[in-house]
Amino acid sequence: MMPKAKYDIVGKKNICFIISIAIMAIGIIFNIIFGTTLDIDFKGGSLITYSYTGEVSADEVESMLNSNDTIESDVSVSTTQTAEPDVNNLTVTLAQEGDLTPEMQEAITTALTESDLLKDHNITFVQSNSVDPVMGREFFGKSIVAAVLASAIMIVYIGLRFRKIGGWSAGICAVIALLHDVLVAYFTFVIFRLPINDNFFAVILTILGYSINDTIVIYDRVRENRRIYGPKVPVKDVVNLSVNQSLARAINTALTTFLTIGSVAVMAIIFNINSIITFALPLMLGIVSGCYSSIFISNGLWVIWKERQAKKAGNK
């Protein structure tokens, strides 16, 4: 006789679906209101780097440059630390088509060096670069292809490995849950106004691998429990028991990973390392989403699929 599961997780699947739909709706609303911010690698533009000493507010410098009538393009400003003590870099990003003209660079340099905001900070020109969006678009396309191929391979792998319990349907449900996680990561970029850059695809591919691992562990327990308790036990009971047996592992793994990435994110925020922030913050939420979808979404979808299959077979 199969033991009764402690938590009726599968029985609460409709509530879990509603929570996920609500999260997706909030993300879509934010996306409609604020839109998607693309990094310079994908939209093109120019980068001008200056060194400075002391403490400088990137927001104040950005506001000052955007209010300058001699600078025709919208700019954004970020600061990063260097290995030299008390010497940091200030990067001015211009979202524009075409190369940076000497006149534009001179206008920005003059605005910075003559500003009362920066007059005591030893502003010094370091370098300038123009970014062609073509390479960014090619990278975007290749990353999408990689994600699609990874999803297809996962379906094939799960379908073959768990063919005795209906692996193809399990694989499709797992990939649907992965799509849920990808959207959560994307909406994190939108809500926190993080630019979509190469870190976005690194986050997506990391989440795909992380989330599918939890799902496969649960499917493995389903296969083992089906072998032990036989085919007559309802699929929802087998899945529910399997999820309960894997629950502690999934939560502990997610919590450990979340705290590790969280510590990295905190240090990146303290030292204002934007390249790490745009990776760590979405990955943290993606890890939470991956754990949630592996436990509540993929299994709930698979139970619905299998029950409908059984109902159709019974009606024939």
Do residues 187 and 220 share a domain? Answer: yes
Backbone angles phi, psi at 134, to 5 degrees: -60, -45
Q: What's the pLDDT tens digit per position in 99-154?
A: 778 888 888 889 898 888 888 888 998 988 887 777 777 877 888 888 888 889 98
Do residues 125 and 242 share a domain? Answer: no
- The predicted pLDDT at position 95 comes to 74
What integer is the mean pLDDT of 286-308?
A: 91
Mean pLDDT over the full length of the chain = 87
pTM (2 decimals)? 0.81
Provide the CATH number for the domain around residue 159: 1.20.1640.10
- Domain span including residue 169: 10-39+134-315
Q: What is the 3-state secondary structure (H, E, C) of 75-106?
A: EEEEEEECCCCCEEEEEEEECCCCCCCHHHHH
Q: For the chain, how many structural domains are there in total?
A: 2
CA 200, CA 195: separation in Å to the nearest integer? 9
Q: What's the pLDDT tens digit per position in 172-217?
A: 999 999 999 999 999 999 999 888 888 888 898 888 888 888 889 9
- 60, 81, 261, 267 from 270: Cα distances, Å: 19, 11, 14, 5
Residue where a domain terminates, one of 101, 131, 161: 131
- The predicted pLDDT at position 315 comes to 62
- The predicted pLDDT at position 98 comes to 66
- The predicted pLDDT at position 251 comes to 92
Confidence of residue 248 (pLDDT cuts 50, 70, 90): very high
Residue 225 lies in a domain: yes
Do residues 62 and 186 share a domain? Answer: no
CA dihedral 112, 114, 115, 118 (to 10 degrees): 70
Residue 276 lies in a domain: yes
Residue where a domain terminates, one of 72, 97, 131: 131
Q: What percent of the chain has pLDDT over 90?
A: 35
Give yes or no for residue 26 having a pLDDT over 80.
Answer: yes
Using a 10 angstrom Cβ sphere, with 0-12 exposed, 13-18 middle and 19 or more buried, the burial of residue 37 is middle
Q: What's the pLDDT tens digit per position in 73-114?
A: 778 888 887 777 788 888 888 877 667 788 888 888 898 988
Residue of higher predicted confidence among 218 and 41: 218
Provide the CATH number for the domain around residue 116: 3.30.70.3220
Structure tokens belonging to residue 309: 């299959």
Do residues 126 and 142 share a domain? Answer: no
Residue where a domain terminates, one of 64, 96, 131: 131
- The predicted pLDDT at position 230 comes to 86
Residue 23 lies in a domain: yes
* E strands, the chain, in order: 45-53, 75-81, 87-94, 124-131
Residue 118 lies in a domain: yes
Residue 271 lies in a domain: yes
Do residues 92 and 117 share a domain? Answer: yes
Do residues 141 and 282 share a domain? Answer: yes
DSSP structure class, residue 8? -
Confidence of residue 57 (pLDDT cuts 50, 70, 90): confident
Do residues 289 and 178 share a domain? Answer: yes
